[in-house]
Amino acid sequence: MERMSSLDAVFLAVEDPVNHMNIGSVGIFEGPALSFETLRAFVAAKIQFVPRCRQRVRDASGFLGRPVWIDDVNFDLDEHLRYESLPSGGSSALEEFVGGLMARPLDRRHALWEMWLIDGLAEDRWAIVSKVHHCMVDGIAGTDLLTAIMDREPHAELMVPTVWTPSQEPTTIDFARFSAVSGLQSAMALVRRAVVALVHLHRSWERVHNVVVGAKRLWYPMRRGTTSLTGPIGPHPRWMRTRVRLDDVAAVRHVFGGTLNDVVVAAVTRAFRDLLLGRGEAVDDRTVTALVPVSLRAPDEQGRLGNRVADVHALLPLGTPDPISTLRMIHGHLADLKTSHEVEASGLLLRIGDFVPRVIADRLARAILHRQENVETVVTNVPGPRATLYLCGRPMVEAYPFGPIAGHVRITVAIWSYCDDLYFGVTGDRDAVGDIDRLVLGIDRGFTDLLNAASNAGN
């Protein structure tokens, strides 16, 4: 048994029939499509490197303990692998399939992941769609999971599956004993932290002050007019995708300075400006509040699953049509966020389950999800591998992320870098965001305008 972290438990607690906490990826491959039997043999051999993929969640008894991971004694690989042949090879057919797939909750009686082999794409291509519950991975851990499963060389030999014997299902007494010991260990850890805080009182007071300052920036109600970006959502997401060349992003950065992330956020800002203008909404002096996850994963934590993130709230300025002015404002604002202490404040809140009973932590998480009014969108940018990955010798030539929508946030923009490109997966509520294609086109135009400005500046 392994106790779930307090942050991982948050993603489990906030899931309901509308808010599905599924994240995923869509890999496009060249070469002859794999047979389902070949894919099954490949995954059967590789799954030994990701033990979590053969574990399920067991809920804690009572209100105090967090859920735990235990071996799924009835694990059956065929329950997690699926095949689908699309009736049309167009891009929209795959996007429709992904949106429908991610709308379905994962079965908590089993390991919380699925993998689909999708045939019938245009240009003799095919896809692997992976679906994982957010309590298992964050963006960085998802990348580590993908690189652990796939090969780094086209001619890697197929491994032989190992014999796996699951641990025996724990009895009620075993489970109660484990929960009690884990709870006692957590209490002792809190006592040790309190002692350290008292010994270093000045440093502790300084940290409390920083957290309060960061919390005020995060959650102090900001005045804004009525916006169509937030509101009730339904259980059916729509997903679309696009991509840009990393060399183009680097060219803009080379001319105007800043970071690659500054350029990406500036293009996304342009997209939201186009979206709201298309809806007839005012954008003068208007900002969009974007929740931006920040990885807290240390270098020695690479390869470990679970979530190690905090959040900041980035204000995307929509008021100016000039792409360079937007980029410069974004650069200054994101630099300011690094010293704002928002990461400390959000990290403390996301780990509130370390300090209070689970029933309180769960209710607080749900209340924040459903009642917060500051966040209007989520923009998550995750670095991926720069070298080509292979599946049974077939190269993955494109790789798009999927991020869920939840609460009152109707649009999520997920970004993943792979090889020489940046891949965007945009998720919107099917009923409330019928014009999600305008946002995707706006991302393309945002990069085009920035690249044109960089070219003109260099002439």
Name the residues annotated as catalytic: 134
Tokens coding 34: 């794999």
Residue 383 contacts by C-beta under 8 Å, 6 or more apart in sequence? 140, 143, 417
Integer Cα distance of 134 and 403 in angstroms: 10
Tokens coding 340: 């704002």
Exposed (0-12), middle (13-18) or buried (19+): which is 5, by Cβ within 10 Å? Answer: middle
Q: Nearest CA to 383 among 422, 412, 440?
A: 422
Residue 208 contacts by C-beta under 8 Å, 6 or more apart in sequence? none
Strand, coil or helix: what is 259?
A: coil
According to DSSP, the β-strands at 81-85 and 68-71 are: unpaired
Residue 121: how many CA atoms within 13 Å on its side-chain side? 25
Per the DSSP assignment, residues forming a β-bridge with 402 are 24
User: Across the beta sheet with 390-391, what order do the strands follow?
Assistant: 81-85, 113-119, 126-133, 22-29, 394-402, 390-391
Are 67 and 4 contacting, i.e. CB atoms less than 8 angstroms apart?
yes
Residue 162 contacts by C-beta under 8 Å, 6 or more apart in sequence? 48
Are 23 and 134 contacting, i.e. CB atoms less than 8 angstroms apart?
yes
Integer Cα distance of 458 and 211 in angstroms: 44
Exposed (0-12), middle (13-18) or buried (19+): which is 435, by Cβ within 10 Å? Answer: middle
According to DSSP, the β-strands at 126-133 and 22-29 are: antiparallel
